[in-house]
Structure 1
Amino acid sequence: MSVYFTEEHDFFRKSFQDFLQKEVVPHIEKWEETGHIERFIWEKFGEMGYFGINYPEQYGGMDLDLFYTVIFLEELQKVQSGGFAAAMWAHAYLAMTHLNKEGNHEQKEKYLAPSITGEKIGCLCITEPFGGSDVSGMRSTAVKKGDKYIINGSKTFITNGVYSDYLIVAAKTAPELGNKGISIFVIDRDAPGVSATKLDKLGWRASDTGEIAFDNVEIPAENLMGEENKGFPYIMQHFALERLIMGINAHARSEWALDYTIEYMKERVAFGKSISKFQALRHKVAQMAAEVEVCKTFNYVTAQRLDQGEYVVKEATMSKLISTKMADEVAYDCLQMLGGYGYMEEYPLARNLRDSRLGPIGGGTSEILREIIAKMVIEGKNYKPAT
């Protein structure tokens, strides 16, 4: 893959691998059990510059190309905790993306700069209890009164929703306008009227996924991000990156699971020979390897185009749809290869199966993605970034 990765990329990958093995892996089991990622690791990520990979140097970032982000995502999938990985990338590429793109200088100084250093943790609050993938159907409101906004409503399935320091929140400033009446705000966690409830999940157990309520939360008018009523196009234009992130996560998670499974098969003996010698199992591995490689290659091409400034919403949507489906199947089949051991919690594939299952759900369900793709390929609909 040298067409995408330089020697500098390779050096970054190696140093990040070493960092994860030394600073993260020893704590994973505790964080999986407690559902709480301790604060010190955020600060260590910040010290090493990992949260500032593709953010402006003006705010403490490194302004590097998107393939450093690809490496960041891929290596996070190999620490055997989808929840830890999600907490890191949801902070760095959901909350911080909005700050960087829609935030003004003052907002970036207050929130983006300390997010890069790991001093502040962010979350993105869009999904609601009654409107999962239907962003335009959100019910949360932001009513302007003088020099303040009053926020009411609720959000759910929010990664970093319990322990974050600030929230990027979408709410309707003009409900009568539907999706043309949504705005984006940044809200401090300690603002009166903000409360969060931790959710119990099948997978991603290390991350704090929360349901958040806003009860007459009063915020200064200057906490509006970008223009009023432009929130929907702001959200839509970032979906390309979010979906591609989940596609990259999927191929990296599957590649790791497949490598682990192959090593196990070489060592496991049945009927006098390694099970890697049985044709039925070999051909299953060959099929999985081919599908992982196809997804990875497509994801790299799409990442390159996005890095060059193209609006690859169709390709990123396809990436998430196909890669997460593939990852689910690989997780299932790899677990099967281990037989009874695959079902045991002391082996990593049971957790991998649970963590993988969110792929076709989060960030837009596969059913919604198929409809979006259908509109583009059948009806010729052309989605454009916010102006």
Structure 2
Amino acid sequence: MAIDFTLTPAQREIQRGAREFAQEVLAPITAAVDEEPDPLTGFQMLKPAYTEACKLGMSWAMLPKEYGGGGLSNVDFVIAAEEIQAVDPGFGTTLLVNGLGLMPVWYYGTEEQKRRFISRATSDASGEFIVGYAASEPPGSPGGTANFDAPAVDGAGMAVTATRDGDEYVLNGRKYWPCNVAGWDMQGANLNLVVVRTDSSVGGTEGLSAIIVERGTPGVTYGMISTSGQRSAPNGEITFDNARVPAENLIEGTAGNGDLLINRNFAWSGPVAGIGAVAIARSAYEAALEFAKTYTAGGPKPIINYQYPGYVLGDVAAKIDAARAYCFKTAHYLDTHDYHGELIGAMNKVLCSEMLFDCVYKCMQVVGVNSLDKKYPFHRWLREAAVFPLYDAGNFGMQRRRVHGVMADPSFDPRAVMNHEFVPFTKEMEGIGTVPGRTK
């Protein structure tokens, strides 16, 4: 039975390097970034850390070596991501989004596009190159992103359009919430992968594509969003006003398949978000355990010696360990199924992110009212715990629908994941439970 949770020497080195970076580079500035009221200033405070991450190969670790990336497996990437996100999940998101922006180029691009975009990022020596991924759109009626795969013409929420005009596409509309897109100076990331509607006559399962918008493109403006959690992750907005983008920037295999790209992207990020939840729960657990071993509450011995703290922390530890194992399983599934894991990736993200809130709050109950004292980081961990079920394709907006669509399909084998068998994801599995709209 080929199951062994013992890290290899190489994996231990990855873990050690990521932990040292997190403790020595991120930890000294994390609190200040979290408290900085201006989101752009807070993000800019992390620029030296990002430059160091680039030097260490972390920014492009998930990309193939063939194009200058680190070539880490998904399992290896998850090991590193836990250590970084245990200190700052927002910085982990910034690195993750580099992958969300460029992995689709690897999956669906031509050889020329892979070298033009991926190799350009990985060969940059400035330590500032950053990539955004823009799918989310602002709420409205119709609007938002969760309804993006509704089969009806006006049922889909993806409204940024890209109209072909000769050798260019003309982009119009607005994206809201995407990470990294504004870059370090509100002038744009070096590259932004933008999901656009290239065919407005059909629904989201047919009319979406992905195109690379390069920094400096006229007609594109950016804004920043001030968030309550993951404040170090630069969430922003993009407005396109007749922005002209070369037609050769449309990622070839995504033409009419932007819906499948979105689902595949969020399947890949599932175990990374999942391990982020594990990481924050781990931090809260270790802090609560240390508190319980030193705090007596006026009694004769530390509170760890009493049943309630001991039982609660034991339950929390078990949930963290189980969730970590599920992240490893999901990452391994992606590694062995051509980076497809639309079902297990969604289940992983839902389970771990909803475990997180429960674990953090139980740790706060052990610490008691002292957990509200801002000299402890519980206030930040609680806010981070609230973020995870809502971001990275929200659990109720998109993740559970993907699981639902797969399970409802007549071909679904409920034992496929258990048996480590490939579970296909097709257009026929999309759109289940979406808001109906006008048909063609």
- Give me the TM-score of the superposition, normalised by structure 1: 0.92
CA distance in 1, matches of 2:77, 2:309: 34
Say whether 1:48 aligns with 2:56: yes
Return the letter of the residue paired with 1:373.
V
CA distance in 2, matches of 1:143, 1:35: 36
Say whether 1:287 aligns with 2:315: yes
Query: In the superposition, relative to structure 1, how do residues 4 and 101 fare at CA in structure 2: closer, same or farther (>3 Å)?
Result: farther
Task: Indicate the residue corresponding to 1:135 in structure 2.
Answer: 148
Say whether 1:255 aligns with 2:282: yes
Name stretches of at least 5 consecutive residues in structure 2 with no aligned partner: 150-155, 184-188, 413-422, 428-440
Task: Indicate the residue corresponding to 1:338 in structure 2.
Answer: 367
Q: Deviations over 1:61-102 (max 9, x none)?
A: 2323222201121011121x32222112222x2112123223
Say whether 1:298 aligns with 2:326: yes
Task: Indicate the residue corresponding to 1:210 in structure 2.
Answer: 236
Return the letter of the residue paired with 2:91.
F
2:97–2:180 contact (8 Å) kept in structure 1? yes
Task: Indicate the residue corresponding to 1:124 in structure 2.
Answer: 133
Say whether 1:24 aligns with 2:26: yes
Task: Indicate the residue corresponding to 1:36 in structure 2.
Answer: 43
Return the letter of the residue paired with 2:148.
V
Deviation at 1:114, TM superposition (A): 4.1
Return the letter of the residue paired with 1:158.
P
Task: Indicate the residue corresponding to 1:187 in structure 2.
Answer: 213
Q: Deviations over 1:295-345 (max 9, x none)?
A: 121221121121112633222111111111100111222122222321122
Aligned pair partner of 2:102 in 86, 89, 96: 96
**SS of the residue 1:357 aligns to:** helix
- Give me the TM-score of the superposition, normalised by structure 2: 0.82
Return the letter of the residue paired with 1:260.
A
Say whether 1:356 aligns with 2:385: yes
CA distance in 1, matches of 2:392, 2:18: 26
Task: Indicate the residue corresponding to 1:83 in structure 2.
Answer: 90
Deviation at 1:379, TM superposition (A): 4.5
1:143–1:150 contact (8 Å) kept in structure 2? yes
1:149–1:219 contact (8 Å) kept in structure 2? yes
Task: Indicate the residue corresponding to 1:268 in structure 2.
Answer: 295
1:126–1:135 contact (8 Å) kept in structure 2? no
CA RMSD of aligned residues (A): 2.2
Say whether 1:375 aligns with 2:414: no
Say whether 1:277 aligns with 2:297: no
Deviation at 1:2, TM superposition (A): 5.0
Say whether 1:13 aligns with 2:40: no
Count residues with an aligned counterpart: 385
Deviation at 1:378, TM superposition (A): 4.5
CA distance in 1, matches of 2:119, 2:374: 39
Per mean C-alpha deviation after superposition, the further-off stretch among 141-150 and 274-283 is 274-283
Say whether 1:327 aligns with 2:349: no
CA distance in 1, matches of 2:6, 2:341: 18
CA distance in 1, matches of 2:23, 2:169: 45
Pick the structure with more helix per residue. 1
Query: In the superposition, relative to structure 1, how do residues 385 and 371 fare at CA in structure 2: closer, same or farther (>3 Å)?
Result: closer
1:102–1:226 contact (8 Å) kept in structure 2? yes
Return the letter of the residue paired with 1:275.
I
1:96–1:115 contact (8 Å) kept in structure 2? no
Deviation at 1:25, TM superposition (A): 2.2
Q: Deviations over 1:159-205 (max 9, x none)?
A: 11322222110111111121211110000132111111111111111
Return the letter of the residue paired with 1:284.
V
Q: Deviations over 1:227-250 (max 9, x none)?
A: 422222222222211222211211
Task: Indicate the residue corresponding to 1:153 in structure 2.
Answer: 173
**SS of the residue 1:255 aligns to:** helix
CA distance in 2, matches of 1:204, 1:64: 25
Q: Deviations over 1:141-172 (max 9, x none)?
A: 00000001000111111111322222110111
**SS of the residue 2:18 aligns to:** helix
CA distance in 2, matches of 1:105, 1:346: 52
**SS of the residue 2:203 aligns to:** helix
Name stretches of at least 5 consecutive residues in structure 1 with no aligned partner: none
**SS of the residue 1:191 aligns to:** coil
Q: Deviations over 1:261-291 (max 9, x none)?
A: 1011101112222111121121111111122
Return the letter of the residue paired with 1:360.
P
Deviation at 1:211, TM superposition (A): 1.7
Aligned pair partner of 2:72 in 64, 71, 88: 64
CA distance in 1, matches of 2:394, 2:66: 36
**SS of the residue 2:279 aligns to:** helix
Percent identical among aligned pairs is: 26
CA distance in 2, matches of 1:370, 1:22: 37
